[in-house]
């Protein structure tokens, strides 16, 4: 292949990658996947398997697969991208930190918390050194590390969340989507502590985050659906079932349209709505939602994933309740993992 053809092919790879990224941002996932695969194939042929642009395509495709719930397929792509970055740029480069964070996010989604934590810590240390302790990218790593620490029950999580929120409010402003993410993460952490005072503190954080997302991203964006689930789960935990139900239903409707009926986040919405209906004693309406959520998770996440197990336990509990006479079962739903 001569140089003119090479440049033509790489130009096509860049165009495919850019269009794939735009489609991914609009949640047109299947079309985006095809374009990212094409860009990766061109770059591997033209630039080689160890080129940084190839690593970019690996990351793009892995991110797209992760968004579709294809976690086991995404993991080796992230690992390859990380290896390329470490070899070409070094272990302390900010681009290496991006690859570390990407792989850690996938591991967290798979429930591999002990594997994810040291990757987040490495990435955070790189950003603090290269970008500074008050940079928004540093705040992102603080938030991400806090989430994995929270999931492991480690008290270190809350001050990291508060630090991330303070950074984003100062650097990006009070109405930025990343500030909304930090507000939601802190609300999630406070809710997970389960104390009434903490729940009261979490609610205005969730409401602020939802308002920001609706204004900055739109009322039908998947991130808005996540925040609707967050707020609904808190209201559910507080026993405000009538107020929570329409929020869960809105979130489910958004997810089914924006990311598809078979996506893990749609299963998450199904599970949360079913849990609320179960607590209202509406067992006949809740059962098919649990069944749908379980079926989605078994395919997308695998039969051994913690979220799949949670769906299985929820469905089993409902069936036992029906056998016992159909009364409501007290429970609490948490959007991040039901």
pLDDT by residue, tens only, the chain of 338 residues: 444 344 446 565 565 555 545 544 544 456 678 788 888 888 898 889 999 999 999 998 998 888 777 888 999 999 999 999 999 999 999 999 999 999 999 999 888 999 999 999 999 999 999 999 999 999 999 999 999 999 999 999 999 999 999 999 999 999 999 999 999 999 999 998 887 778 999 999 999 999 999 999 999 999 999 999 999 999 999 999 999 999 999 999 999 998 889 888 899 999 999 999 999 999 999 999 999 999 998 887 778 777 888 999 999 999 998 887 754 433 333 334 46
Burial letters 175-211, b for 16+ CB under 10 A, else e: ebbbbbbbbbbbbbbbbbeeeeeebeebbebbbbbbe
CA distance 109 to 68: 12
How far is it, in rounded angstroms, from Cα 55 to Cα 69?
21
C-beta neighbour count of 239 within 10 angstroms? 12
Q: According to the model, what pLDDT value does residue 30 have?
A: 65
**3-class secondary structure, 110:** coil
Residue 215: predicted pLDDT: 97
So what's the pLDDT on residue 17?
Answer: 55
Task: State the burial class of residue 234 (Cβ atoms within 10 Å of its Cβ: 0-12, 13-18, 19+).
Answer: buried
**Location of structure tokens 């939602």:** 289
Q: Count the neighbouring beta carbons within 10 Å of the beta carbon of residue 227.
A: 28
Identify whether the C-beta of residue 59 lies closer than 8 Å to the C-beta of residue 34: no
Q: Which two tokens stand for residue 128?
A: 């603090």
* Alpha carbons 43 and 165: distance in angstroms, whole number: 38
Q: Are 271 and 338 in contact (CB under 8 A)?
A: yes
Cα separation, 66 vs 60, whole angstroms: 10
pLDDT score recorded for residue 194: 80
φ and ψ at 195, to 5 degrees? -90, 145
181-187: which pairs have CB atoms within 8 A and are 24 or more residues apart?
A: 181/143, 181/209, 182/139, 182/143, 183/208, 183/209, 183/212, 184/209, 184/226, 184/227, 184/230, 185/143, 185/146, 185/147, 185/161, 186/158, 186/161, 186/162, 187/230, 187/234
């Amino acid at each position: 292949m001569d140089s003119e053809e090479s440049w033509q092919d790489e130009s096509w790879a860049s165009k495919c990658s850019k269009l794939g990224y735009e489609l991914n941002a609009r949640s047109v996932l299947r079309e985006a996947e095809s374009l990212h695969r094409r860009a990766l194939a061109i770059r591997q042929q033209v630039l080689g398997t160890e080129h940084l642009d190839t690593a970019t395509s690996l990351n793009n495709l892995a991110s797209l697969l992760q968004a579709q719930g294809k976690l086991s397929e995404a993991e080796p792509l992230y690992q390859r991208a990380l290896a390329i970055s470490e070899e070409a740029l070094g272990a302390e480069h900010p681009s290496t930190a991006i690859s570390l964070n990407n792989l850690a996010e996938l591991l967290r989604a798979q429930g591999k918390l002990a594997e994810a934590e040291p990757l987040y810590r490495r990435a955070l240390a790189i950003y603090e050194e290269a970008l500074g302790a008050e940079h928004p990218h540093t705040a992102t790593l603080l938030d991400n590390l806090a989430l994995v620490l929270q999931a492991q029950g480690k008290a270190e999580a809350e001050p990291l969340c508060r630090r991330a929120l303070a950074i984003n409010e100062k650097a990006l402003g009070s109405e930025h989507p990343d500030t909304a993410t930090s507000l939601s993460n802190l609300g999630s952490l406070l809710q997970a502590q389960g104390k009434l005072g903490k729940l009261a503190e979490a609610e205005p954080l969730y409401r602020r985050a939802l308002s920001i997302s609706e204004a900055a991203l739109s009322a039908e964006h998947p991130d808005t659906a996540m925040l609707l689930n967050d707020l609904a789960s808190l209201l559910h935990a507080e026993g405000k079932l009538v107020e929570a139900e329409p929020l869960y239903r809105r979130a489910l409707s958004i997810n089914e349209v924006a990311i598809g009926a078979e996506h893990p986040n749609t299963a998450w919405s199904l599970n949360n709505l079913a849990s609320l209906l179960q607590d209202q004693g509406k067992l006949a309406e809740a059962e098919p939602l649990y069944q749908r959520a379980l079926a989605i998770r078994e395919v997308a996440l695998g039969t051994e994933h913690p979220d799949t197990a949670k769906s299985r336990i929820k469905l089993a509990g409902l069936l036992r309740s029906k056998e016992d006479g159909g009364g409501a079962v007290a429970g609490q739903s948490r959007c991040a993992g039901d």
